[in-house]
Each structure stands twice: as C-alpha cells, then as structure tokens.
C-alpha cells in the first residue's frame, strides 16, 4: 500500500479546525523577532569558529514547535479513514429454468451471425446473458437460480444456487437427447419438478421460466395439472415457445452417404397450452422465432421480475486524532527540551 493510496480517502470530521494550523506561522514570526543582547568588551573571548553544529541547528526547536502546531490543528479537525467494508442487505428471487432438450431442439432457426447454432445452444447462450448480464441485460447476481431439463423425462441438473459459476458450467453441459426412448416432450413433468424444487425456497418471489419448442406428448403429469400446482404454491410461470413458425431447418444424416444434410422440418408448438399455463399462474407467454427475439424475451422477463432491493450501508471510520495529538505533543516536548539544554539561547 502506497502513501498516496492511504491518504486519498482521508476525511476530516470538522475540517474548519484546519485553520488552527495557521498558528504555526505565528510561532515562526515570533522566532524572527530580535533577541535580547549581551554586550562584550572584547570579541577575543568568543570561539574562533562561530558556525558550530549548535548554531546551525538553532532553528530546530522553532521548526518542531511549528510542526507541532500544524499537527494539533489537524488533530482538532478529526482525521479519519473510512472503512471500505460495507454490509449490503439484498433480497433476490428464486428462479427455476426448465429447458426442453428433446430432439427437435436440434433445429437451426435460432442461428445468428451466419453461424449454424441449434435451438438449445442459442437458449444456453441467452440464458448465460440473462444470469451474468450484458449491456442489454442487468444480470441476476442476487437471485437463486436452478436448471431442470426435460425430454421424455424430467431431471434436475442444478438445484437453486447463488453460485452462478457452477450454474453456468452445468447449463453449458446440457445436451440434446439422442436415444429414441427419450425422444418425447414431457412438459408437465418438467414443470412439476420445477415446482417441487421451488417449494422449499423461502424467497418472497418464486418464478419458473419454461422453454419448449414442442407439445406435451410424454410423461405422467399433464401441463395444466402442473400449472395448477404452481398456482397453489404461489409460483409464477413464464412460458416461452422457441422456434420459427411453419418449418425449421435441421441437420440430419443422409441415409446413403451418412453426411449431414439440411432438411426442413415442420414446427409444432402447443401455444394454447403454454398460454394457459402462464395465465393460470399469473405469468406471461412469449414466442421467440429467432435469437434476437429470444434475447428480447429474456429482457422482458428481466424487467418484470426486478424486486426492489433494499440496500443498507454501514460505514465505519478509523479515527486518527489520538495518534496525531500524541505526535504533536511529542514534537513540542522535544522542542522545549532542546531549548532548555543543548540549544538554549541566552536572553
């Protein structure tokens, strides 16, 4: 730590008392007044070398007294350094992200920038922006966030956590299912599992973001039954239908050559059910047909789910007036000691 970095945040409790430092000028002026005279009949009794160390240091007591006066003025002003530690109380919300990872999430209609990106990769990218923040999204540093994935079965990938680094690592590892036994879309089970994970949260506001590109065709629980459970628990659900309308491009292997070829696959999103889920839980339904639209959806959710964060700051100070006063008195005592002994002046 440098001296400049230490002095920079220095404050004074009563800065007007710094005017007392001007008393040092009076001490200096008084020392310049003509001293008393001693008459000698002859200068022969004086030492041959009058400029001794003692005569060269005769100014020292005055300087020490002047510095002591300056330090006393500073002590009266109350020098202090603020303690940088602050206690900030923030209360975020609990968010559970339920993501569809069925085979249809391989569609490339959410690509942007001339680069082919699957729907799932686009969702993961925008979700990271939503959590961490960008120039358009504020981020969610104070929120507990978890991730659930679902295809034919629902699975908790990450429970509610404030450790967003771990959350992002888990979200990045989400992959589209490849097994035929998991080729379905269990929206109801995914939503129901998200509700179960939020039940234990003590957050005042609990939210589920449910993203899918299809219709419920698997699982044990119906989407509306899961929505009813969420409403009973006071959990709000925002539903997102991801993907273009009509047909979407998908890379599939050619049956003869095995090389991936681009095909158009019909898109079927059960918007009616997604809207019903949102209405029953006092949430909202969004449709994102491209990557920028998906980003805008998360931006709207980000604005809707902003809690007023009460911030209580406690600033403590380390007072230094005692130290400065002690140093001033020490310098004054040294000055008087020198004037009474080795640097004593005759009247």
Asked if residue 313 has pLDDT above 90, the reply is: no
Tokens of 109: 């209609």
Distance CA 167, CA 147 (A): 8
Distance CA 90, CA 102 (A): 37
Q: Which residue has the higher pLDDT, 302 or 43?
A: 302
Distance CA 154, CA 49 (A): 101
Give the CA angle between residues 334, 335, 339 to the nearest 5°: 115
CB 107 within 8 A of CB 250: yes
CB 273 within 8 A of CB 224: yes
Please report the pLDDT score of residue 310 as a whole number.
46
CB atoms within 10 A of CB 202: 7
- Sheet of 317-319: strand order equals 11-12, 79-82, 317-319
Helix axes 291-304, 119-132, angle to 10 degrees: 30
Domain 94-304 bears CATH identifier 3.90.1150.10:
no
Distance CA 191, CA 237 (A): 9
**CA-based nearest residue to 267, from 250, 284, 286:** 250
CB 303 within 8 A of CB 263: no
Q: Which residue has the higher pLDDT, 106 or 92?
A: 106
Count, residues in the chain: 347
Phi first, then psi: give them for residue 332, nearest 5 degrees.
-65, -45
pLDDT tens across 21-57, in order?
A: 888 888 888 877 655 555 555 556 555 555 666 667 7
Q: What residue has token string 């639209």?
A: 293
| Mean pLDDT lowest among 176-180, 303-307, 308-312 | 308-312
Please report the pLDDT score of residue 193 as a whole number.
96
Q: What percent of the chain has pLDDT over 90?
A: 37
Using pLDDT thresholds of 50, 70 and 90, give the confidence band for residue 309: very low
In the chain, domain spans = 3-31+52-83+316-340, 94-304
Distance CA 343, CA 20 (A): 27
pLDDT tens across 53-103, in order?
A: 666 777 888 888 889 889 988 988 888 887 655 555 556 789 999 999 998
CA distances from 71 to 80, 168, 326 (A): 14, 55, 9
Report if pTM > 0.85.
no
Phi first, then psi: give them for residue 79, nearest 5 degrees.
-65, 140
Q: What residue has token string 């449709």?
A: 287
CB 231 within 8 A of CB 281: yes
Q: What residue has token string 């949102």?
A: 278
Task: Identify each DSSP E strand in the chain by its residue range.
Answer: 11-12, 79-82, 94-100, 144-150, 154-161, 206-212, 236-242, 247-253, 260-266, 285-288, 317-319
């Amino acid at each position: 730590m440098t001296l400049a970095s230490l002095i920079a945040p220095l404050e004074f409790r009563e800065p007007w008392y710094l005017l007392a430092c001007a008393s040092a000028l009076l001490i200096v002026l008084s020392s310049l007044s003509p001293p008393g005279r001693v008459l000698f009949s002859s200068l022969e009794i004086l030492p041959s070398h009058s400029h001794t160390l003692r005569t060269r240091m005769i100014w020292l007591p005055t300087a020490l007294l002047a510095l002591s006066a300056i330090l006393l003025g500073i002590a009266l002003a109350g020098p202090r350094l603020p303690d940088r530690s602050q206690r900030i109380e923030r209360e975020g919300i609990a968010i559970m992200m339920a993501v569809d990872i069925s085979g249809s999430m391989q569609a490339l209609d959410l690509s942007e920038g001339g680069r082919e990106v699957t729907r799932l990769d686009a969702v993961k990218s925008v979700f990271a922006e939503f959590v961490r923040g960008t120039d358009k999204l504020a981020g969610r540093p104070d929120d507990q966030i978890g991730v659930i994935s679902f295809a034919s079965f629902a699975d908790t990938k990450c429970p509610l956590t404030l450790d967003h680094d771990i959350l992002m690592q888990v979200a990045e590892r989400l992959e589209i299912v490849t097994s035929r036994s998991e080729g379905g879309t269990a929206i109801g089970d995914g939503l129901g599992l998200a509700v179960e994970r939020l039940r234990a949260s003590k957050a005042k506001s609990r939210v589920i973001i449910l993203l899918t590109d299809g219709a419920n065709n698997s699982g044990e629980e119906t989407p509306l039954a899961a929505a009813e459970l969420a409403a009973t628990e006071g959990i709000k659900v925002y539903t997102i239908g991801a993907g273009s309308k009509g047909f979407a491009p998908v890379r599939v292997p050619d049956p003869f050559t095995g090389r991936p070829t681009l095909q158009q696959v019909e898109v079927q999103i059960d918007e009616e059910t997604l809207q019903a889920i949102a209405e029953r839980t006092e949430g909202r339904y969004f449709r994102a047909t491209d990557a920028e639209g998906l980003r805008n959806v998360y931006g709207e959710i980000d604005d809707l789910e902003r809690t007023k964060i009460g911030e209580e700051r406690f600033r403590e100070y380390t007072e230094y007036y005692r130290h400065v006063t002690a140093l001033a008195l020490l310098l004054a005592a040294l000055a008087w000691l020198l004037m009474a002994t080795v640097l004593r002046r005759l009247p």
